[in-house]
Amino acid sequence: MPSLREKMAQCGFESNDDYEFQVRCVLEGPTRMLRTLAIEGDGERRKTAFATALARALEFPHCLYLDFTEAHPALPEVILPPSQDELGRTEPPIDALDQKVSEACAQSEGEPTVLILDQLQAADFREHIRIHRLIADCFWEVRGGRYFANPRHLLLFLISETPLYHAIQKASFRVWVGRVSEQQIAYAPAEFGLGAEALPLFGALAELFQALGTAPTRSEFEHILTDLQLHVRTVEHLRLSLYGRAEGVTRESIAQPSLIGPLQAVVTATQDLLLSDHIEVRGD
C-alpha cells in the first residue's frame, strides 16, 4: 500500500520529508473543535501544492478552495440571487468566503470534506475572528443564519504568509513546508538499475548536494542521473542540469567558486562510468 508521501507525490507534491506523523496527529485528534492544520513554511506556493496534494491523497470526497488574493474567485456551482424585502430593498449576493464556508459546512453533514483557505494574510482581520469562531463553535453565521459543520467530517487547512491570529494558531496543528526537503536520502546505484561501478559517481553527487545544502527528491535525482549519462560533458552542462532539474538549486548557489571542485568531481566520475560501460560493451 503506498505511503502518504508516495500518494502526495502522485498528486503533485514531492518531498523527501514525511508528514505522516503530523497528519495522523490532526486526523486522530479530538473533535470538540474543527480539526485545523496551519501550513507554514518558506515554500511560497509550495504550501498550496502541499495542501491540495494532501487533500487528494486523503481521498476526501469534497475539497473546497478559496484564495483571498484572487480578484475574481471562481464562481460557485450555485449562484444565489440578491435577497429582496417587502419594500424592494436588496442585499448583495453572498461573498466568496461565506459561499465556500457555508458549502463546506453543508457537505460535511454527510461526507468528509476539506476546506482550504489560502493567503489568509490578505483577508480582513474580522474574517480571522469569524474563522476562529468556526473552529471553536463548529458553525458559520451568514446574515443571521447558521450553517453547522460536522467536526468529525470537516477538515480545515489554513495558509498564510504572515503569522495567524493568535487564537487560530492555538486551535491549530502547525506543519512546516520548506522550499526544499530537509531530509537527505542516500540513493544507491541498484535503485536506478546501475551496478557497483557507479558508486564513485553517487559518492561525488552526495558530496556535491551536501556542499549545495540541498536534498534532491527521487525524481529530481533520477532526471539529473539521466542528464549525466546522456548530455552532461562539462561543468557548465552540469550547472544547467542541476538548475533545470532540482527545485532547491538557485543560480547563486550553483555559481559559487567553492563548488568548482565538487562539480568537476561529478563530471569526472560520470566520464569514468561512461568509459567503463563503453569498454564492457566492446569487450562483449
CB-count exposure of residue 54 (10 Å: 0-12, 13-18, 19+): buried
Q: For residue 29, report the phi and psi dihedrals to the nearest 5 degrees.
A: -80, 170
Dihedral angle over CA of 7, 10, 11, 13, nearest 10? 90
- Distance of CA 257 to CAs 235, 260, 261, 264, 266, Å? 12, 6, 9, 12, 15
Cα separation, 57 vs 227, in Å, equals: 31
User: Looking at residue 77, what is its pLDDT?
Assistant: 55
Amino acid found at 271: Q
SS3 readout for 27-63? HCCCCCCCEEEEEECCCCCHHHHHHHHHHHHCCCCEE
Contact, 149 vs 138, CB < 8 A? yes
Cα separation, 248 vs 260, in Å, equals: 19
User: Looking at residue 282, what is its pLDDT?
Assistant: 45
Chunk the chain into consecutive blocks of 10 residues (it has 284) and report each block's average pLDDT, rounded to whole numbers.
Answer: 92 93 91 93 88 96 95 56 57 82 96 97 95 96 92 96 94 92 89 95 96 92 96 96 93 94 97 76 44
Which of these, 128, 72, 74, 78, lies nearest to 102 by C-alpha position? 78
User: Looking at residue 281, what is its pLDDT?
Assistant: 41
The Cβ of residue 230 has, within 10 Å, a number of other Cβ atoms equal to: 8
Dihedral angle over CA of 64, 68, 72, 78, nearest 10? 30
User: Looking at residue 74, what is its pLDDT?
Assistant: 59
Which of these, 204, 188, 185, lies nearest to 196 by C-alpha position? 188
Eight-state DSSP code of residue 122: G
The Cβ of residue 231 has, within 10 Å, a number of other Cβ atoms equal to: 11
Which H or E run contains 106? Answer: helix 96-108
Amino acid found at 96: A
